[in-house]
């Protein structure tokens, strides 16, 4: 098993991994329900959308 060295960001006492994914490549693979979820997050859950 490989061990990965990741940088973490602390927000409100919780550590989140600092991972970047290219948005254009991620959006290419969305299907019908993925697009619906993205629209829902954009409209109602701004924090999760970011």
Average pLDDT over residues 22-44: 81
* pLDDT at position 1: 61
Q: How far apart are CA 45 and CA 7, in angstroms?
A: 26
Task: Tell me how far apart the alpha carbons of residues 42 and 50 are, in angstroms, rounded to a whole number.
Answer: 8
Domain ranges (residues) in the chain: 22-50
At residue 14, does pLDDT exceed 90?
yes
Report d(CA 8, CA 28) in Å as an integer: 27
Instruction: State the pTM of this model.
Output: 0.45
**Is residue 36 scored above 70 in pLDDT?**
yes
Question: Which of 7-11, 17-21, 26-30 has the weakest average pLDDT?
Answer: 26-30
Q: Is the pLDDT of residue 8 over 80?
A: yes
DSSP 12-32: TTEEEE-----HHHHHHT--H
Q: Output the six-digit token pair for 6.
A: 């990741």
């Amino acid at each position: 098993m490989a061990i990965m060295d990741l940088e973490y960001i602390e927000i409100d006492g919780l550590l989140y991994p600092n991972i970047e994914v290219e948005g254009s490549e991620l959006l290419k693979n969305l299907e019908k329900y993925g697009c619906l979820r993205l629209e829902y997050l954009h409209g109602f859950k701004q924090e999760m959308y970011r």
